[in-house]
Structure formats: C-alpha cells, structure tokens
Copies of this chain bind each other. A is one copy, B any other.
Amino acid sequence: MSKKITTIGEIMMRLTTPGHERFVQADQYQVSFGGAEANVAISLAQFGMSTSHVTAFPQNDLGQKAKAYLKQMAVNCDFVYDHEGRMGLYFLENGSMQRASRIIYDRFNSSFSNFDGKDIRWDEVFDDVDWFHWTGITPAISQNAADMLLKAVQVAHEKGVKISGDINYRRNLWQYGKEPLEIMPELIRYCDVIVAGSSDFENCMDIQVNDWVDACFQAKKDFPKLKYITKTKRQSISASHNQLKGILWNGSEVLKSKTYEITHIVDRVGGGDAFIAGLIYGLLHFEDQEALDFATAASVLKHSIPGDANLVTVEEVLNLVQEKNVGKLLR
C-alpha cells in the first residue's frame, strides 16, 4: 500500500507571462497554481503516494478552480476549507539568460492567512499518515497560520508521524509583528528532517554558520529530534543554465549527489519543492545516498516542466539517476 503524506500551506494562483515576454508586454497570462507545500504533495502524488493537503480558499469560483487543480493533480481535498479572504496571487515573468526571472507577490489578506483552522479535527487529518511536511512560509504569513501550524505539528508528533520542515526564511514575509526566532524553534523542535541553508540557521534557529556541517551538528544539539538536514546547492550561470547538487547530513556524515548541468531551463520555480518531495520519497523507500540522488534527480527534471509542480514518475527519476534514456526519444 502506498505511503500517506500530508502537507499544509497556502496555494496561490500563478499568473505567468507567455514565453519570455516581460510584464509590460504580456496581454495574456497562463493561469496555474502553486505553493511550496502543495507542490510537494503534488509531486509525491505523481510518485504514486497517497497525499492530502490542508488549506483554505475563498468561497468563489477562483477557490473552486484552485481546488479542482489540486484534485486534478491527485491530491486529496478532504481538508480543504472555504474561508473569508482573497485568493492569494503571484505574477511570474520568466527570465532568460542574463535576465533574471521575477515574481510579484499579491498574497496579503488571503483566505489562508485569515484561517485559524479552529474547527479542523487534526486527529482525522493525521489518521494513518506516514509523513507530514510544512515550510517556514506558513508561520511567516500570519499569527493565525503560525498557530494552526503549531497545532498541526504537535498532533502529528503525538501520532508518531514523521515530520519535515523546509525552513525557507524570506525576509519580506514576517510582517505581522513576530520575529522568526519567536516562532520557528518551537516548530523545528518536532522535526525529523529540515531543509536549511545558512540564512535559515541564522534567522530561524539562532545558529551562526561558519561551516554548514558544523551548523548541522549544532542544530542536532539544539533540536535533538532532528535526523536529517538537507539543502541544494544551485549555481545560477544564467536564468537558462543552472548547476544543481543535493547535500544531505544524516546525523553523522555529509552525503553529496553528483552535480547536474541544467542547460535549457523551462521553469525553475518549484525546483526546491521537487527536491524535498524526492527526498521524502527517497527516505521512505531507499538508503540515504539513494534518497539524496533520487531527490536531486527529481529536482533536475522539474526544471524541464512548465508550472510549479514536478509532474514526473518514479521511473523517470530513477532513469535519470541511472543515466538511462536521458534526453532520448522514447517510442
């Protein structure tokens, strides 16, 4: 039977300019949806996992559309709620070569940010669930969201669900009056796995970083439940060409994937979410190094697919890991 994974987080409507048009040129937008946590759920659903996402949408046709998107992507919506507020939006202009890609967020006062989840029966949410994933975006949005997430993490922990958190510190969120250090440590305390780079250690865990591995060992001391800390290393040669490597600290040593050349980027949004989805799948099915290799290959493939979500199968990821059929024409 397939593993069950639950995620929680905001989903925004994504409005993308066509091709390489700039915002000032575009007279139409591609409409899709994305959110760091839902991207993970969708990717895991394509891997055949049983996934469920907890979120809130406005009670209008845009909310309906967002929900239909999740269902289409095979994510269970039993814990998707209607709530007062706007549909969060983000506008995306895909860069090219030296020209950077740009996102304009328009997410304030969204249904999710207003939602306190008071009526959610968390016991049901985590029934039979194997893994729970959250990101640091949720507690950065509003006090409501931070409170709801804490409740979720606590219940998941009590029910013995494995927990991963993508720390993902973003300075321009966190506008509701709290500092990350007032909120994040309490959440990280319950995690088995976190994604954390230097800025995350410093801003959300109060750990100064000279060396990332040292910081991992320090984190283990401060947050003893932690078993894995991971990150990707991305080199942006241009908006069209990146290099990507996955790194995983497993409590005793640092593992590294090969470095991939990503040479003709179609869409790099969601590359990190594809990595953590791959890692969750990997840690549930493989040894550590294999898990990391799977995660990195999954992230690489994401860059070839338009939209936030990594629509690839386990077989396709494994083929890339094993350098089989890479870039061929499969009949």
Residues of A at the B interface (CB closer than 8 Å) are 15, 19-32, 60-62, 64-65, 68-69, 71-74, 86-87, 89, 91, 93, 95-106, 108-109, 170, 172, 236-242, 260, 262-266, 268-269, 297, 300-301, 303-307, 311-312, 316, 319-320, 325-331
Contact = CB atoms under 8 A, between A and B. Distances in A.
B60 A87 contact: no
Nearest to A105: B331
Nearest to A95: B327
Contact of A306 (B21, B64, B263): B21
Contacts of A170: 331
Contacts of A303: 97
Given A68-B72, A98-B297, A98-B304, 4 more contacts: A19-B306, A28-B29, A95-B304, A239-B329
Contact of A64 (B23, B29, B108): B23
Nearest to A16: B28
- Closest 4 CB pairs between A and B? A72-B72, A23-B61, A239-B327, A238-B327
Contacts of A31: 26-29
A262 B264 CA distance: 13
A100 B240 contact: no
B96 A236 contact: no
A155 B62 CA distance: 40
Contact of A104 (B29, B62, B69): B62
Contacts of A65: 23-24, 26
A64 to B, nearest CB: 5
Max chain B Cβ within 10 angstroms of own Cβ: one of A238, A264, A300, A329: A329
Contacts of A100: 316, 319, 325-330
A27 B108 CA distance: 23
B93 A106 contact: no
Max chain B Cβ within 10 angstroms of own Cβ: one of A69, A99, A262: A99
B99 A312 contact: yes
Contacts of A73: 68
